[in-house]
Amino acid sequence: MAEPKLGEALFAAAEAIRAKAYAPYSGFSVGAAILADDGQIYAGCNIENAAYPQGNCAEASAIAAMIAGGAKRIKAIYVTGPGATPVTPCGGCRQRIREFADLDSVVISHGVEGKPLTSTLEQLLPHSFGPEFLDK
């Protein structure tokens, strides 16, 4: 994902959807935008629930939008949230991303008051377990 305009487009999509997040309990709104294998951008936000485990992370929402849109693979994902510290995907979302992305896929984590952190999925989830380990 060397193209700066693509990064800008993903950032804009993540921020636009983050504004729609439902986070009344934590107050921590997150947006995620995926560049998929079909060339489209799919976005999702976090959706909290009073029964905490029933909520959705932004990354999971974006993956659901991607699959619903007919795409199959994540080429890059941009995650935005509040503060200056990069907002990285949680452990569960790293594994969710792993299901649909190659290890060299770009993951950009951005606390919007600071600088974005660009890494690969392999850097965020080293020695990971993926679908290739299972017989289909």
132 is annotated as an active-site residue? no
Cα(60)–Cα(108) distance, rounded to whole angstroms? 15
Among candidate residues 15, 48, 59, 99, the one labeled active-site is: 59
Which residues are within 8 A (CB) of 66 and not within 5 positions of it... i.e. 6 or more apart?
34, 36, 42, 74, 100
**Sequence-ordered strand ranges (E) for the chain:** 31-36, 41-45, 74-81, 101-111, 117-120
Query: Which sequence positions are flagged as catalytic?
Result: 59
